[in-house]
Structure 1
Amino acid sequence: MLEEIIEKIKEYKLFAGLALAGLLLAGFFLIRGSGEPAPEKQVSALAQEVIQSSASSDQIDRTEQSEVRDSESSSELTVDVKGEVKHPGVYQLKAGSRIYDAIQKAGGMTAEADSKSVNLAQKLADEAVVYVAKIGEGGADVTSGTAEASSQAAASRSAQSDLINLNTATEAELQTITGIGQKRAQDIIAYRESNGGFKSVDDLKNVSGIGDKTLEKLKEYVTVD
Protein backbone atom coordinates (compact mmCIF):
# COMPACT_ATOMS: atom_id res chain seq x y z
CA MET A 1 0.00 0.00 0.00
CA LEU A 2 2.82 2.41 0.95
CA GLU A 3 4.68 1.71 -2.27
CA GLU A 4 1.54 2.50 -4.33
CA ILE A 5 1.17 5.86 -2.58
CA ILE A 6 4.82 6.70 -3.23
CA GLU A 7 4.41 5.79 -6.90
CA LYS A 8 1.37 8.07 -7.24
CA ILE A 9 3.21 10.97 -5.59
CA LYS A 10 6.15 10.40 -7.91
CA GLU A 11 3.91 10.42 -10.97
CA TYR A 12 2.22 13.61 -9.78
CA LYS A 13 5.55 15.40 -9.31
CA LEU A 14 6.80 14.37 -12.72
CA PHE A 15 3.52 15.45 -14.36
CA ALA A 16 3.62 18.85 -12.61
CA GLY A 17 7.22 19.40 -13.67
CA LEU A 18 6.54 18.58 -17.29
CA ALA A 19 3.41 20.75 -17.28
CA LEU A 20 5.39 23.73 -15.95
CA ALA A 21 8.08 23.20 -18.55
CA GLY A 22 5.37 23.14 -21.24
CA LEU A 23 3.90 26.43 -19.97
CA LEU A 24 7.31 28.08 -20.08
CA LEU A 25 7.90 26.93 -23.64
CA ALA A 26 4.40 28.12 -24.66
CA GLY A 27 5.14 31.53 -23.16
CA PHE A 28 8.37 31.67 -25.09
CA PHE A 29 6.61 31.08 -28.41
CA LEU A 30 3.90 33.63 -27.55
CA ILE A 31 6.54 36.27 -26.84
CA ARG A 32 8.25 35.52 -30.14
CA GLY A 33 4.90 35.70 -31.95
CA SER A 34 4.21 39.15 -30.50
CA GLY A 35 7.45 40.50 -31.89
CA GLU A 36 8.99 41.26 -28.49
CA PRO A 37 12.54 40.10 -27.82
CA ALA A 38 12.53 36.73 -26.09
CA PRO A 39 14.98 35.81 -23.33
CA GLU A 40 15.70 32.42 -24.96
CA LYS A 41 18.58 31.43 -22.70
CA GLN A 42 16.65 32.23 -19.52
CA VAL A 43 13.58 30.27 -20.65
CA SER A 44 15.70 27.30 -21.74
CA ALA A 45 17.68 27.33 -18.51
CA LEU A 46 14.51 27.51 -16.41
CA ALA A 47 12.91 24.66 -18.32
CA GLN A 48 16.04 22.55 -17.85
CA GLU A 49 16.03 23.32 -14.14
CA VAL A 50 12.42 22.17 -13.83
CA ILE A 51 13.21 18.88 -15.61
CA GLN A 52 16.30 18.30 -13.45
CA SER A 53 14.26 19.04 -10.33
CA SER A 54 11.70 16.42 -11.37
CA ALA A 55 14.47 13.88 -12.00
CA SER A 56 16.03 14.65 -8.61
CA SER A 57 12.64 14.22 -6.93
CA ASP A 58 12.22 10.88 -8.68
CA GLN A 59 15.62 9.75 -7.38
CA ILE A 60 14.68 10.76 -3.81
CA ASP A 61 11.45 8.76 -4.11
CA ARG A 62 13.39 5.67 -5.20
CA THR A 63 15.75 6.10 -2.23
CA GLU A 64 12.78 6.35 0.15
CA GLN A 65 11.28 3.19 -1.31
CA SER A 66 14.59 1.36 -0.80
CA GLU A 67 14.70 2.50 2.84
CA VAL A 68 11.15 1.23 3.36
CA ARG A 69 12.09 -2.19 1.95
CA ASP A 70 15.21 -2.33 4.17
CA SER A 71 13.09 -1.45 7.19
CA GLU A 72 10.60 -4.21 6.39
CA SER A 73 13.46 -6.71 5.95
CA SER A 74 14.98 -5.84 9.36
CA SER A 75 11.60 -6.49 11.00
CA GLU A 76 11.94 -10.23 10.30
CA LEU A 77 14.30 -12.94 11.51
CA THR A 78 15.15 -16.43 10.26
CA VAL A 79 15.52 -19.42 12.58
CA ASP A 80 16.31 -23.12 12.20
CA VAL A 81 13.98 -25.38 14.22
CA LYS A 82 15.29 -28.91 14.91
CA GLY A 83 14.65 -31.97 17.03
CA GLU A 84 11.28 -33.18 18.27
CA VAL A 85 8.97 -30.88 16.29
CA LYS A 86 6.47 -32.02 13.69
CA HIS A 87 7.99 -30.09 10.78
CA PRO A 88 11.70 -29.30 11.33
CA GLY A 89 13.06 -26.63 9.03
CA VAL A 90 14.02 -23.00 8.49
CA TYR A 91 11.30 -20.43 9.22
CA GLN A 92 10.85 -16.66 9.07
CA LEU A 93 9.22 -14.88 12.02
CA LYS A 94 8.63 -11.32 13.12
CA ALA A 95 11.37 -9.60 15.10
CA GLY A 96 10.78 -10.05 18.83
CA SER A 97 9.27 -13.53 18.43
CA ARG A 98 9.78 -16.13 21.15
CA ILE A 99 10.91 -19.76 20.99
CA TYR A 100 7.25 -20.70 21.49
CA ASP A 101 6.40 -18.94 18.20
CA ALA A 102 9.14 -20.79 16.33
CA ILE A 103 7.98 -24.18 17.62
CA GLN A 104 4.38 -23.41 16.68
CA LYS A 105 5.56 -22.40 13.22
CA ALA A 106 7.17 -25.84 12.95
CA GLY A 107 3.86 -27.54 13.78
CA GLY A 108 4.39 -27.88 17.52
CA MET A 109 6.24 -30.50 19.56
CA THR A 110 5.93 -34.23 18.93
CA ALA A 111 4.60 -36.64 21.54
CA GLU A 112 8.18 -37.63 22.44
CA ALA A 113 9.42 -34.06 22.95
CA ASP A 114 10.82 -32.94 26.30
CA SER A 115 9.17 -29.54 26.82
CA LYS A 116 11.63 -28.80 29.65
CA SER A 117 14.54 -28.78 27.20
CA VAL A 118 13.62 -25.31 25.89
CA ASN A 119 12.66 -21.97 27.37
CA LEU A 120 9.47 -21.15 25.47
CA ALA A 121 9.49 -17.53 26.66
CA GLN A 122 13.00 -16.76 25.42
CA LYS A 123 13.32 -14.16 22.65
CA LEU A 124 14.85 -15.25 19.35
CA ALA A 125 17.72 -13.71 17.40
CA ASP A 126 18.31 -13.85 13.66
CA GLU A 127 20.06 -17.09 12.54
CA ALA A 128 19.05 -18.81 15.79
CA VAL A 129 18.88 -22.60 16.17
CA VAL A 130 16.04 -24.00 18.27
CA TYR A 131 16.59 -27.62 19.32
CA VAL A 132 13.82 -29.55 21.08
CA ALA A 133 15.23 -32.62 22.80
CA LYS A 134 13.61 -36.03 23.06
CA ILE A 135 12.43 -37.28 26.45
CA GLY A 136 15.42 -38.90 28.16
CA GLU A 137 17.95 -37.17 25.89
CA GLY A 138 20.65 -35.56 28.03
CA GLY A 139 22.40 -32.24 27.59
CA ALA A 140 19.56 -30.60 25.69
CA ASP A 141 19.46 -26.82 25.44
CA VAL A 142 18.63 -24.02 23.03
CA THR A 143 21.24 -22.41 20.81
CA SER A 144 19.69 -19.06 20.03
CA GLY A 145 22.71 -16.99 19.10
CA THR A 146 22.04 -14.52 21.95
CA ALA A 147 24.31 -13.60 24.85
CA GLU A 148 21.55 -14.50 27.29
CA ALA A 149 21.25 -18.03 25.91
CA SER A 150 25.01 -18.53 26.01
CA SER A 151 25.14 -17.38 29.63
CA GLN A 152 22.26 -19.65 30.63
CA ALA A 153 23.81 -22.65 28.89
CA ALA A 154 27.20 -22.04 30.51
CA ALA A 155 25.71 -21.66 33.99
CA SER A 156 23.60 -24.81 33.61
CA ARG A 157 26.50 -26.97 32.45
CA SER A 158 28.82 -25.57 35.11
CA ALA A 159 26.33 -26.39 37.87
CA GLN A 160 25.74 -29.91 36.62
CA SER A 161 29.30 -30.60 35.38
CA ASP A 162 27.57 -31.83 32.26
CA LEU A 163 30.27 -31.37 29.62
CA ILE A 164 29.84 -32.82 26.13
CA ASN A 165 32.29 -35.62 25.39
CA LEU A 166 33.76 -35.05 21.92
CA ASN A 167 34.52 -38.75 21.55
CA THR A 168 31.01 -40.03 22.29
CA ALA A 169 28.59 -37.18 21.57
CA THR A 170 25.94 -37.57 18.89
CA GLU A 171 25.32 -34.97 16.20
CA ALA A 172 22.26 -33.72 18.08
CA GLU A 173 24.19 -33.39 21.36
CA LEU A 174 26.98 -31.43 19.69
CA GLN A 175 24.41 -28.99 18.27
CA THR A 176 23.29 -28.08 21.79
CA ILE A 177 26.62 -26.28 22.23
CA THR A 178 26.61 -22.57 21.45
CA GLY A 179 28.48 -22.00 18.18
CA ILE A 180 28.04 -25.52 16.76
CA GLY A 181 25.48 -26.02 14.01
CA GLN A 182 24.67 -29.09 11.95
CA LYS A 183 27.59 -28.73 9.50
CA ARG A 184 30.19 -28.19 12.23
CA ALA A 185 28.82 -31.11 14.27
CA GLN A 186 29.15 -33.35 11.23
CA ASP A 187 32.74 -32.15 10.69
CA ILE A 188 33.62 -32.93 14.33
CA ILE A 189 32.25 -36.45 14.04
CA ALA A 190 34.03 -36.97 10.71
CA TYR A 191 37.36 -35.91 12.25
CA ARG A 192 36.75 -38.17 15.26
CA GLU A 193 36.09 -41.20 13.05
CA SER A 194 39.05 -40.49 10.75
CA ASN A 195 41.59 -39.94 13.52
CA GLY A 196 40.53 -42.44 16.17
CA GLY A 197 39.00 -39.82 18.44
CA PHE A 198 40.17 -36.61 20.10
CA LYS A 199 43.28 -36.81 22.26
CA SER A 200 42.55 -33.39 23.79
CA VAL A 201 40.07 -30.55 23.40
CA ASP A 202 42.77 -28.59 21.55
CA ASP A 203 42.44 -31.08 18.69
CA LEU A 204 39.27 -29.18 17.74
CA LYS A 205 41.57 -26.73 15.94
CA ASN A 206 42.13 -29.46 13.37
CA VAL A 207 38.45 -29.41 12.46
CA SER A 208 37.57 -27.23 9.48
CA GLY A 209 36.28 -23.78 10.48
CA ILE A 210 37.45 -23.87 14.11
CA GLY A 211 40.20 -21.40 15.00
CA ASP A 212 41.76 -20.23 18.24
CA LYS A 213 38.92 -17.84 19.14
CA THR A 214 36.21 -20.42 18.49
CA LEU A 215 38.17 -23.04 20.43
CA GLU A 216 38.33 -20.79 23.49
CA LYS A 217 34.54 -20.41 23.43
CA LEU A 218 33.97 -24.16 23.05
CA LYS A 219 36.36 -25.28 25.82
CA GLU A 220 33.87 -24.55 28.60
CA TYR A 221 31.33 -26.92 27.05
CA VAL A 222 33.38 -29.97 25.95
CA THR A 223 35.69 -32.66 27.26
CA VAL A 224 37.47 -35.76 25.93
CA ASP A 225 37.29 -37.83 29.17
Structure 2
Amino acid sequence: MVLIVIGLAFIIYFAFFSKQDAGEYALIQAETMDETQFTSDTLVTEIEKIFVDIKGAVKHPGVYEVTSESRVIDIVRIAEGFTEKADENYVNLAQRVHDEMVIYVPEKGESSDYIQEKSDKVSLNYADVKRLMTLPGVGQVKAEAIVDYRNVNGPFGTLEELLNVNGIGEKTFEQLKDYITLY
Protein backbone atom coordinates (compact mmCIF):
# COMPACT_ATOMS: atom_id res chain seq x y z
CA MET A 1 0.00 0.00 0.00
CA VAL A 2 2.82 2.39 0.88
CA LEU A 3 4.47 1.64 -2.44
CA ILE A 4 1.27 2.47 -4.32
CA VAL A 5 0.92 5.83 -2.54
CA ILE A 6 4.59 6.69 -3.18
CA GLY A 7 4.20 5.62 -6.82
CA LEU A 8 1.10 7.79 -7.32
CA ALA A 9 2.79 10.75 -5.64
CA PHE A 10 5.80 10.25 -7.88
CA ILE A 11 3.65 10.15 -11.05
CA ILE A 12 1.59 13.21 -10.05
CA TYR A 13 4.72 15.16 -9.12
CA PHE A 14 6.48 14.53 -12.46
CA ALA A 15 3.32 14.97 -14.53
CA PHE A 16 2.67 18.38 -12.95
CA PHE A 17 6.24 19.73 -13.16
CA SER A 18 7.04 18.36 -16.62
CA LYS A 19 3.96 20.11 -18.10
CA GLN A 20 4.92 23.36 -16.38
CA ASP A 21 8.49 23.14 -17.76
CA ALA A 22 7.21 22.41 -21.27
CA GLY A 23 4.88 25.43 -21.11
CA GLU A 24 7.69 27.71 -20.00
CA TYR A 25 9.93 26.38 -22.76
CA ALA A 26 7.30 26.97 -25.42
CA LEU A 27 6.78 30.53 -24.19
CA ILE A 28 10.51 31.28 -24.25
CA GLN A 29 10.78 29.81 -27.73
CA ALA A 30 7.85 31.90 -28.98
CA GLU A 31 9.34 35.10 -27.53
CA THR A 32 12.69 34.35 -29.16
CA MET A 33 11.09 33.80 -32.54
CA ASP A 34 9.13 37.08 -32.28
CA GLU A 35 12.30 39.07 -31.55
CA THR A 36 14.05 37.87 -34.71
CA GLN A 37 11.84 38.00 -37.76
CA PHE A 38 13.45 37.11 -41.07
CA THR A 39 11.60 37.03 -44.33
CA SER A 40 12.64 35.46 -47.58
CA ASP A 41 12.80 38.99 -49.04
CA THR A 42 15.39 40.00 -46.42
CA LEU A 43 17.63 37.09 -47.28
CA VAL A 44 17.32 37.61 -51.03
CA THR A 45 18.33 41.28 -50.87
CA GLU A 46 21.42 40.54 -48.78
CA ILE A 47 22.82 38.10 -51.35
CA GLU A 48 23.05 39.94 -54.63
CA LYS A 49 24.69 39.30 -57.97
CA ILE A 50 27.94 41.20 -58.54
CA PHE A 51 30.66 41.32 -61.20
CA VAL A 52 34.32 40.64 -60.41
CA ASP A 53 37.26 41.00 -62.82
CA ILE A 54 40.19 38.61 -62.36
CA LYS A 55 43.42 39.30 -64.26
CA GLY A 56 46.97 38.05 -64.43
CA ALA A 57 48.25 34.55 -63.83
CA VAL A 58 45.00 32.57 -63.89
CA LYS A 59 44.01 30.09 -66.58
CA HIS A 60 40.91 31.99 -67.72
CA PRO A 61 41.04 35.69 -66.76
CA GLY A 62 37.84 37.64 -67.24
CA VAL A 63 34.77 39.20 -65.70
CA TYR A 64 32.59 36.80 -63.76
CA GLU A 65 29.12 37.17 -62.26
CA VAL A 66 29.04 35.82 -58.69
CA THR A 67 27.14 36.42 -55.46
CA SER A 68 28.11 38.98 -52.85
CA GLU A 69 28.93 36.08 -50.50
CA SER A 70 31.82 34.91 -52.72
CA ARG A 71 35.49 35.06 -51.80
CA VAL A 72 38.62 35.44 -53.91
CA ILE A 73 39.21 31.68 -53.80
CA ASP A 74 35.81 31.16 -55.45
CA ILE A 75 36.73 33.49 -58.31
CA VAL A 76 40.09 31.74 -58.78
CA ARG A 77 38.24 28.42 -59.01
CA ILE A 78 35.78 29.83 -61.55
CA ALA A 79 38.79 31.03 -63.59
CA GLU A 80 39.97 27.39 -63.42
CA GLY A 81 42.87 28.07 -61.09
CA PHE A 82 46.30 29.64 -61.14
CA THR A 83 48.80 29.20 -63.96
CA GLU A 84 52.14 27.56 -63.18
CA LYS A 85 53.74 31.03 -63.15
CA ALA A 86 51.33 32.46 -60.55
CA ASP A 87 52.73 33.89 -57.33
CA GLU A 88 49.94 32.96 -54.92
CA ASN A 89 51.68 34.72 -52.01
CA TYR A 90 50.28 38.07 -53.14
CA VAL A 91 46.65 36.92 -53.24
CA ASN A 92 44.36 36.90 -50.20
CA LEU A 93 42.17 33.92 -51.04
CA ALA A 94 39.94 34.45 -48.01
CA GLN A 95 38.99 38.04 -48.89
CA ARG A 96 35.31 38.68 -49.67
CA VAL A 97 34.70 40.13 -53.10
CA HIS A 98 32.60 43.17 -53.96
CA ASP A 99 30.98 44.57 -57.08
CA GLU A 100 33.46 45.93 -59.65
CA MET A 101 36.42 44.40 -57.79
CA VAL A 102 39.60 43.70 -59.72
CA ILE A 103 41.72 40.77 -58.56
CA TYR A 104 45.24 40.76 -59.93
CA VAL A 105 47.34 37.59 -59.66
CA PRO A 106 51.02 38.39 -60.32
CA GLU A 107 53.53 36.03 -61.87
CA LYS A 108 56.55 34.82 -59.90
CA GLY A 109 59.40 37.31 -60.23
CA GLU A 110 57.11 40.12 -61.36
CA SER A 111 58.30 43.56 -60.30
CA SER A 112 57.32 44.25 -56.70
CA ASP A 113 56.79 47.92 -57.66
CA TYR A 114 54.04 46.88 -60.06
CA ILE A 115 52.45 44.61 -57.46
CA GLN A 116 52.66 47.34 -54.80
CA GLU A 117 51.02 49.79 -57.22
CA LYS A 118 48.08 47.38 -57.52
CA SER A 119 47.56 47.28 -53.75
CA ASP A 120 48.56 50.77 -52.61
CA LYS A 121 45.13 51.87 -51.45
CA VAL A 122 44.08 51.08 -47.90
CA SER A 123 40.53 49.89 -47.30
CA LEU A 124 38.59 51.96 -44.78
CA ASN A 125 36.20 49.06 -44.31
CA TYR A 126 38.67 46.19 -43.92
CA ALA A 127 42.04 47.54 -42.77
CA ASP A 128 43.21 46.98 -39.21
CA VAL A 129 44.93 49.61 -37.06
CA LYS A 130 48.39 48.57 -38.21
CA ARG A 131 47.49 48.90 -41.91
CA LEU A 132 45.73 52.25 -41.36
CA MET A 133 48.88 53.56 -39.70
CA THR A 134 50.70 53.23 -43.04
CA LEU A 135 48.63 56.15 -44.35
CA PRO A 136 50.26 59.61 -44.35
CA GLY A 137 49.33 61.58 -41.25
CA VAL A 138 47.64 58.63 -39.51
CA GLY A 139 49.15 57.44 -36.27
CA GLN A 140 47.91 55.05 -33.61
CA VAL A 141 45.21 57.40 -32.27
CA LYS A 142 43.65 58.26 -35.64
CA ALA A 143 43.85 54.65 -36.82
CA GLU A 144 42.04 53.47 -33.68
CA ALA A 145 39.45 56.24 -34.13
CA ILE A 146 38.76 55.02 -37.69
CA VAL A 147 38.32 51.42 -36.52
CA ASP A 148 36.14 52.51 -33.58
CA TYR A 149 33.94 54.61 -35.89
CA ARG A 150 33.57 51.66 -38.27
CA ASN A 151 32.70 49.28 -35.40
CA VAL A 152 30.01 51.62 -34.06
CA ASN A 153 28.53 52.92 -37.33
CA GLY A 154 29.12 50.05 -39.72
CA PRO A 155 31.08 50.15 -42.98
CA PHE A 156 31.94 53.46 -44.59
CA GLY A 157 29.53 54.26 -47.44
CA THR A 158 31.66 57.00 -48.99
CA LEU A 159 35.24 58.15 -48.62
CA GLU A 160 33.94 61.53 -47.40
CA GLU A 161 32.33 59.80 -44.41
CA LEU A 162 35.87 59.63 -43.02
CA LEU A 163 35.37 63.31 -42.11
CA ASN A 164 32.95 62.15 -39.37
CA VAL A 165 35.80 60.43 -37.52
CA ASN A 166 37.24 62.36 -34.57
CA GLY A 167 40.62 63.81 -35.52
CA ILE A 168 40.03 63.70 -39.29
CA GLY A 169 39.45 67.12 -40.79
CA GLU A 170 39.48 68.52 -44.33
CA LYS A 171 43.26 68.85 -44.38
CA THR A 172 43.86 65.25 -43.30
CA PHE A 173 41.18 63.98 -45.67
CA GLU A 174 42.79 65.78 -48.63
CA GLN A 175 46.08 64.16 -47.66
CA LEU A 176 44.48 60.69 -47.50
CA LYS A 177 41.93 60.57 -50.31
CA ASP A 178 44.35 59.25 -52.95
CA TYR A 179 45.48 56.43 -50.65
CA ILE A 180 42.15 55.07 -49.42
CA THR A 181 39.33 52.99 -50.80
CA LEU A 182 36.11 51.54 -49.42
CA TYR A 183 37.14 48.00 -50.41
Bigger Rg over Cα: 1
Question: TM-score surpassing 0.5?
Answer: no
**The structure with more helix, counted as a fraction of residues:** 1
Give the TM-score normalised by structure 1. Answer: 0.35
